């Protein structure tokens, strides 16, 4: 089990469609600094669907470059089934098969993240090498 916290370094979110019910569709380009068992830089592209009450569902692809345990390289984590309930964003994660590079080649696994509004975001990964 690998655990990490992350800090949002940049967040560039732009709407691309307004919905008739008061919601909107947006795309956000985000960079992160990760520390803990996963250390390095993350970059993610989010697609989000906001409802008129400010809650949202989102999907995205995140690439992490750095270190996982004592191995270095990069890998892509698919953010799936994510929600923002107005107080925290939560999502289930899965490593994209074949996306690992360097010493992270063959990485597989799943995980989750939680990012409380105004708090410290954290990630937990249950990974293995295939």
pLDDT per residue over 54-81, tens digit each? Answer: 999 999 999 999 999 999 999 998 766 7
Q: What's residue 26's pLDDT?
A: 98
Q: What's residue 39's pLDDT?
A: 97
Q: What is the pTM of this model?
A: 0.92
Instruction: With a cut of 70, say whether residue 110 has pLDDT above it.
Output: yes
Q: What's residue 77's pLDDT?
A: 86
**Which domains are present in the chain?**
2-129 (2.40.350.10)
Estimate to the nearest angstrom the gap between the alpha carbon of 101 and the chain centroid.
18
Tell me 96's DSSP state: P
Q: How far apart are CA 12 and CA 27, in angstroms?
A: 8
Q: What's residue 51's pLDDT?
A: 96
The structure tokens 């470059």 sit at 65
Other beta carbons less than 10 A from residue 76's beta carbon: 18
């Amino acid at each position: 089990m690998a655990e990490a916290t992350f800090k949002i370094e940049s967040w560039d979110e732009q709407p691309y469609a307004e919905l008739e019910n008061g919601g909107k569709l947006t795309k956000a380009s985000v960079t992160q600094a990760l520390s803990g068992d996963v250390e390095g830089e993350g970059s993610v592209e989010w697609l989000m669907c906001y409802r008129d009450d400010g809650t949202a569902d989102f999907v995205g692809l995140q690439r992490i470059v750095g270190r996982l345990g004592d191995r270095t390289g990069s890998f892509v984590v698919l953010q799936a089934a994510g929600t923002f309930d107005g107080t925290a964003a939560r999502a289930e994660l899965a490593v994209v098969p074949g996306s690992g590079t360097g010493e992270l080649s063959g990485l597989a696994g799943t995980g989750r993240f939680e990012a409380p509004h105004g708090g410290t975001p954290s990630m937990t990964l249950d990974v293995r090498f295939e």
